[in-house]
Amino acid sequence: MADDASTTSPQVAPAVTEAKLAPGPVDPVLAAIDPDRGRPADAVVTRGLTLRFGEKTILSSIDMQFARGSITALIGPTGSGKSTFLRTLNRMNDKVQGFRYEGDVLLDGASIWTPGLDLLNLRRRVGMLFQRPNPFPMSIRDNVVAGVKAHRIAKGKQLDVVAEQRLREVGLWDSVKDRLGDSPFRLSGGQQQLLCLARALAVGPEVLLLDEPTSSLDPISTEYVEALLRQLAPALTLIVVTHNLAQARRVSHHTMFFYDGHLVEHGPTDDLFERPKDPQTERYVTGRIG
């Protein structure tokens, strides 16, 4: 497996990736005030992670690093365990009947299964966006600040500020500013998904897990969300499951290919698509399996 490639952070990724995502020159002043200074270069690390439902092994011994500020795409045919892997990272699988794991997941160097760890705070730090938009049955504004309220990050008038800021961030402000008190269910699917993104961003996550975030959206909205994800990347570590190979190529720095219970190959996105090392990867990315 391409271990050498996987440890490379996106900042020093091959030129072609670099150009596409244009992170800009590293400013020494910005670097000095970088809040991530002194933290591990990898936001998330999995060590020999094996996932099972009952006796059925879904994925075995996954060793992977997710560089801080990078976008990683998870690809693979249906049932290859992408969602299972993703949902393990914020411990959404823990209460699923029959779920068992071996190995470990490190967030900033600390195991997510550390005894006594604050699960609610873990989920604040590791946000999630789902395949279909899932607004809560409350007003648009309350949707955005639902997590903020739960975590007591802000209150009172501040909530309005947070709501506006996050809605602006996802580009939804202008279309909803006159109907903040309305039901979110009358928004279009794409708008609802953006609302859910705003909601996830509002609690200030470090890692964002996205499970086929654009699969229910039209091409225009998809393009918009993709652009947004690329903007979020330097500040956030994104892990995106997608069935859309073109999307994986457009947005991600790194790609992981799951097949048949294994992480078959991973590496810089362009390498994986242009020069796959594994014949199964090649067949998948050229559209011959899956």
What are the residues binding other proteins (CB under 8 A)? 90, 92, 119-124, 127-128, 130, 132, 134-139, 146-147, 150-151, 183, 185, 196, 199-200, 203
Smaller CB separation from other proteins, 27 or 94 = 94
Smaller CB separation from ligand ATP, 66 or 99 = 99
Q: Which residue has the tokens 């395949």?
A: 131
Question: Residue 154 gets which letter from DSSP?
Answer: -
Q: Are strands 126-129 and 71-75 parallel, antiparallel or unpaired?
A: unpaired
Q: Which residues bind ligand ATP (CB under 6 A)?
A: 53, 58, 76, 78-84, 96, 98
Smaller CB separation from other proteins, 31 or 150 = 150
Residue of 178, 167, 223, 227 whose CA lies nearest to 200: 167
Residue 29, helix vs strand vs coil: helix
Length of the chain: 290
Does the footprint of Mg ion cover residue 88 (CB under 5 A)?
no
Question: Residue 139 gets which letter from DSSP?
Answer: -
Smaller CB separation from ligand ATP, 49 or 172 = 49
Smaller CB separation from other proteins, 124 or 266 = 124
Which residue number is nearest to Mg ion in terms of Cβ?
A: 83
Does the footprint of Mg ion cover residue 83 (CB under 5 A)?
yes
Min dist CB 252 to Mg ion, Å, is 17
Min dist CB 241 to ligand ATP, Å, is 6
Count other Cβ atoms within 10 Å, centred on residue 198.
25
What is the sign of the dihedral through the CA atoms of 112, 116, 122 and 123? Answer: positive
Q: How far apart are CA 20 and CA 26, in angstroms?
A: 16
How many binding residues for Mg ion (CB under 5 A)? 1
